[in-house]
Structures are given as structure tokens and as C-alpha cells.
Amino acid sequence: MHKNFMAGGIMALAVILVCVSMSWNEPATAADHGDAPLTAADLGADIADVYAFHDTDAGTLTTIFTYGGGSSALPLYDGDVLYTIHLDTNADQASDHQILVRFGQDTAGDWGVQATGIPGSSAALSGPVGTTTAGSGVIKLFAGMTDDPFFFDLQGFHDTLSTGTLMFDNTRDSFAGRNIMSVVVEMPLDLGLGSTPTNIRAWATAGRN
């Protein structure tokens, strides 16, 4: 599945902060974004949403993609899936930066995550899942189970379809308390270029070996 998001100007999505720092004690119901049957059958490679936001004061760009919505067995890590975060800095709809993300297990069976190609660093960044791993400068990596940040009133959607009148309620979030897998990469806003691009387009893809 392929999702696009444009990050530019002064746009910021504060709601995504729930993915960067959070904890959980009890499992919740998994979120399910109702994808097509072929993608829903491969939840490890089924990207649900892509988010991007920036902080000009901190000089950071944060990208997040979620996957695995609807799985009955979260957390879900798959060492055979390669995730790619694409960044386009010159509006030609082609990747100028590609961040490659993979999961793997050590000899004890513990899962870890590795990201390569993070702008501003020539080194791979890896660490255990479920924790934030810091790299050089502002670079950080997190991968694990989180509350789904996607906000949607499903009841309002169905009520709108049945009545023909807008029935959405912005206090009603159908995905609140539902788990999903999230991968968060924080990097320099200038992407190691020395000056910040006017517009940064971000999207993510997943491929299975």
C-alpha cells in the first residue's frame, strides 16, 4: 500500500506526538483501517498511514508510518519485510532520500529494528523495539506498538451515508485505545543538505522478500 503526505510551510501534526512517547500496560483492540483483501491478508506489509511534521525551533523533521492494523497478535514484527520512507525535496515526485527499515531477531529471539539512509547520518541506526534509540545529533528511531493516532468518527461516517446529512462528531474517535504498529524516524530538518528545502514530500512503501 502506498500513502502520501506533503510536509511544508508551517504545518505540524501535534496529534502524532502520541507515537513518539507513550507506554502501555494492557493490550487493547487492534485498529483496522479496512484495507483491500490482498493487503489486509499481509498485515506485516500493510501500511495504514503516513505522517510527517516538523519543528523549526528544534530543526527536526519527524516521519511516522503505521502498519498491521487489524492484527489479532500485536506486536507484529516481520523480518522479511523491507519498509522504505521516501523523501522528495524538489517536487519531481521521485525519492531524493530513501530510509530503509527492517526488523530482525538476535540469538535470544529478541526483536530489534534497524534504519539506514537517515539523512544527516552515514551510519545505520539500530536498537531494541519498544524503545527510542538515539543516533547522532537529533536523529532518533522508534518502532513498536502504540495507540493508533488516526482520528476518525466511524459512527458519524455511517450515519452520514444513511441520512445524507453530515453527522460527524469531533469528540468521537473510533480508533482511540486501539493498537497499531508504528515506526518513527526523527532527522535534521535540512536533511543534511545545509539548508532546509522549501517543500518535503514523504511517503512509505513496504515490500516482502
All three cell numbers of 152: 476518525
Pairing of strands 47-55, 60-67: antiparallel
pLDDT one-digit tens code per residue, 118-129:
999 999 999 999
Separation CA 85–CA 119 (nearest Å): 11
pLDDT computed for residue 46 by the predictor:
87
pLDDT computed for residue 120 by the predictor:
93
pLDDT computed for residue 28 by the predictor:
43
Report the 10 Å Cβ neighbour count for 129.
Answer: 18
Separation CA 8–CA 82 (nearest Å): 27
Q: Does residue 134 or residue 74 have the better pLDDT?
A: 134
The model's pTM is 0.77
3-state secondary structure of 34: coil
CB 1 within 8 A of CB 35: yes
pLDDT computed for residue 123 by the predictor:
93
Lowest-confidence segment of 47-61, 126-140, 162-176 by average pLDDT:
162-176
Per-residue pLDDT at 3 exceeds 60: no
pLDDT interval class at 69 (50, 70, 90):
confident
Report the 10 Å Cβ neighbour count for 61.
Answer: 25
pLDDT computed for residue 175 by the predictor:
67
pLDDT one-digit tens code per residue, 132-169:
999 999 999 999 999 887 767 778 888 899 999 998 88
pLDDT interval class at 1 (50, 70, 90):
very low
